[in-house]
Amino acid sequence: MTTPLELADRLEAARLASGLSRQALTEQAGVSRQAVYRLLKGNDVQVSTLLAVTEVLQLDLVTLPRALKRGLPELGDAPAVAATATAPLQPSPASSRPSSHVMSAVQRRLADLKGGRS
Q: Which domains does the chain have, with CATH numbers?
A: 4-86+93-113 (1.10.260.40)
The runs of H, that is alpha helices, within the chain are 4-18, 22-29, 33-40, 47-56, 63-70, 78-84, 100-113
Whether the CA torsion 6, 71, 60, 91 is positive or negative: it is positive
pLDDT in tens, 34-88: 999 999 999 988 989 999 999 999 888 766 655 555 554 444 444 444 444 444 4
Q: How many CA atoms lie within 13 A of 90 on its CB side?
A: 7
**pLDDT at residue number 60:** 80
CA–centroid distance for 33 within its chain: 15
Task: Report how far residue 11's alpha carbon sits from residue 65's, in angstroms, rounded to the nearest whole number.
Answer: 11
pTM comes to 0.55
**pLDDT at residue number 33:** 95
**3-class DSSP state of 104:** helix
